[in-house]
């Protein structure tokens, strides 16, 4: 039995003196949707291309379905690829585009007809079989590219920024469609994007890359609520980060002091000890404006600088000590605008919503 669909071990790739991928280890399980996320130049496309066999590594191993595939040609890897530019043959009908990989595998005609019909139903485009790609919208072309990739049931489907060329509304729609297809078919997907929201919506797991290395791997909730580093915290979503010194540790909690003298607490983290100067983080939606008589686990005071209503949510920006500004996100109510600018407010949040971060 194969424990992982895809296993990457100690993979490295440099271009001259520039490290594109440095010592990466990664496992993708059967039926998992794993996204490679990171800023431009972090190495995500290079990593995908090495899995695809379109770029050869300097060292390390790529295992697909238990087979050592590091230097195997793309055609022998049992993978499918979907690109941003669709890569459909313009002179072939939709039917022939989807049939192409089956013809290359010498599948008999009756089976081709049946499989192409089935996959067109799956991507909800049974009526366009005889059209040419340029007669379809961008979203339809992307679905056909997906259908062509799925029709021969590859072991892993690789997607490189497949929705990058679509407008926002269509992109949002396609994110859900791909996610639903993945759930329905149980296909294994390795997906590349630089869009944090897309990664959060679609993935079972996210592999966050930074400077050619893996910063953190985990579920979207892990990376959002329990980032391990300052980079992970700032790359995914909005965060309030602040410098603290750990002054004490007891009862599974760290006691920390801000430069303003405010005392805060955070859940204990094994590699942190008293005397450490670290960063801590709390998400804006975990922070509330609390009245003077309300008891809260972590509390700091500040001056309200700005209130911004963005439809269903309202954001408050509060200046705490040393010119640092905290963001607070709440649901909009009729009272959202009643606080006067420059008024003193109390910010409160729970101990378990405080995350201690490594600064590297």
pLDDT in tens, 220-248: 999 999 999 999 999 998 999 999 999 99
Residue 249, both tokens: 């540790």
Find the angle CA(62)-CA(68)-CA(73) to the nearest 5 degrees: 80
- 94-104 vs 109-122: helix crossing angle, rounded to 10: 130
Q: How far apart are CA 233 and CA 211, in angstroms?
A: 16
- The stretches of the chain forming alpha helices (DSSP H) are 44-52, 94-104, 109-122, 138-150, 168-185, 196-202, 220-225, 230-235
CATH number, domain 238-357, options 2.30.110.10, 2.40.110.10, 3.40.190.10, 2.40.50.100: 2.40.50.100
Q: pLDDT at position 211, please?
A: 94
Rg (the chain; Cα; Å): 25
Could you tell me the pLDDT band of residue 282, with boundaries at 50, 70 and 90? Answer: very high
Q: Identify the burial level of 339 via C-beta atoms within 10 angstroms of its C-beta, where 0-12 means exposed, 13-18 middle and 19 or more buried.
A: middle
Ranges of CATH 3.40.50.300 domains, the chain? 6-233
Percent with pLDDT over 70 in the chain: 98
Q: What is the pLDDT of residues 152-194, one digit of tens each?
A: 888 899 999 888 877 888 888 888 888 888 888 888 999 999 9
Q: In the sheet that 344-349 helps form, which strands lie side by side, from edge to edge?
A: 288-290, 344-349, 298-310, 313-319, 325-331
Q: What is the rounded average pLDDT of the residues 91-120?
A: 92
Every domain range in the chain assigned CATH 2.40.50.100: 238-357
49-54 contacts at long range (C-beta below 8 A, 24 or more positions apart): 50/11, 50/13, 50/21, 51/6, 51/8, 51/79, 51/156, 51/158, 51/190, 52/77, 52/79, 52/81, 52/158, 53/77, 53/79
Here the tokens at position 272 are: 């942190």
- Domain formed by 6-233, architecture: 3-Layer(aba) Sandwich (3.40)
DSSP structure string for 43-76: SHHHHHHHHHTSS--SEEEEEETTEE-TT--GGG
User: Can you give the pLDDT at residue 336?
Assistant: 66
Residue 337's pLDDT band, with cuts at 50, 70 and 90, is low
Query: What band does 360 get if pLDDT is binned at 50, 70 and 90?
Result: low
At residue 251 the predicted structure's pLDDT band, cuts being 50, 70 and 90, is: confident
List, in order, residues 6 or more apart from 11 with CB less than 8 Å away.
21, 23, 24, 25, 47, 50, 57, 59, 60, 61, 62
* Contact between residue 343 and residue 285 where contact means Cβ atoms under 8 Å apart: no
User: pTM for this one?
Assistant: 0.87
b (16+ CB within 10 A) / e for 1-11: eeebbbbbbeb
């Amino acid at each position: 039995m194969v424990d992982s669909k895809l296993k990457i071990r100690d993979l490295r790739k440099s271009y001259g003196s520039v490290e594109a991928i440095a010592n990466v280890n990664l496992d993708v399980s059967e039926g998992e949707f794993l996204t490679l996320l990171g800023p431009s130049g972090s190495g995500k496309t290079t990593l995908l291309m090495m899995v695809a066999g379109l770029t050869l590594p300097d060292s390390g191993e790529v295992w697909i379905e238990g087979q050592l595939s590091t230097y195997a040609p793309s055609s022998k890897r049992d993978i499918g690829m979907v690109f941003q530019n669709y890569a459909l043959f313009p002179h072939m009908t939709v039917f022939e585009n989807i049939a192409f990989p089956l013809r290359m595998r010498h599948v008999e005609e009756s089976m081709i007809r049946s499989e192409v019909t089935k996959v067109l139903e799956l991507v909800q485009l049974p009526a366009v079989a005889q059209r040419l790609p340029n007669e379809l919208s961008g979203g339809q072309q992307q679905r056909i590219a997906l259908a062509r990739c799925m029709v021969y049931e590859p072991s892993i489907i690789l997607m490189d920024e497949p929705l990058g060329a679509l407008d926002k509304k269509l992109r949002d729609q396609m994110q859900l469609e791909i996610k639903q297809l993945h759930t329905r078919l149980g296909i294994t997907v390795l997906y590349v994007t630089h869009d944090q929201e897309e990664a959060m919506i679609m993935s079972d797991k996210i592999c966050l890359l930074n400077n050619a290395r893996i910063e953190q791997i985990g579920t979207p909730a892990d990376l959002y609520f329990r980032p391990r580093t300052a980079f992970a915290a700032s790359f995914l979503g909005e965060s309030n980060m602040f410098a603290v010194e750990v002054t004490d540790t007891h009862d599974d909690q760290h006691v920390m002091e801000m430069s303003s003298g405010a005392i805060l607490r955070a859940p204990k983290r094994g590699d942190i000890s008293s005397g450490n100067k670290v960063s801590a983080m709390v998400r804006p939606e975990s922070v509330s404006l609390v009245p003077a008589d309300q008891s809260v686990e972590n509390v700091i005071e500040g001056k309200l600088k700005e209130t911004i209503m963005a439809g269903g949510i309202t954001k408050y920006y509060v200046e705490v000590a040393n010119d640092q500004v905290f963001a607070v996100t709440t649901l909009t109510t009729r009272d959202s605008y009643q606080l006067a600018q420059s008024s003193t407010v109390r910010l409160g949040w729970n101990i378990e919503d405080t995350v201690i971060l490594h600064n590297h």
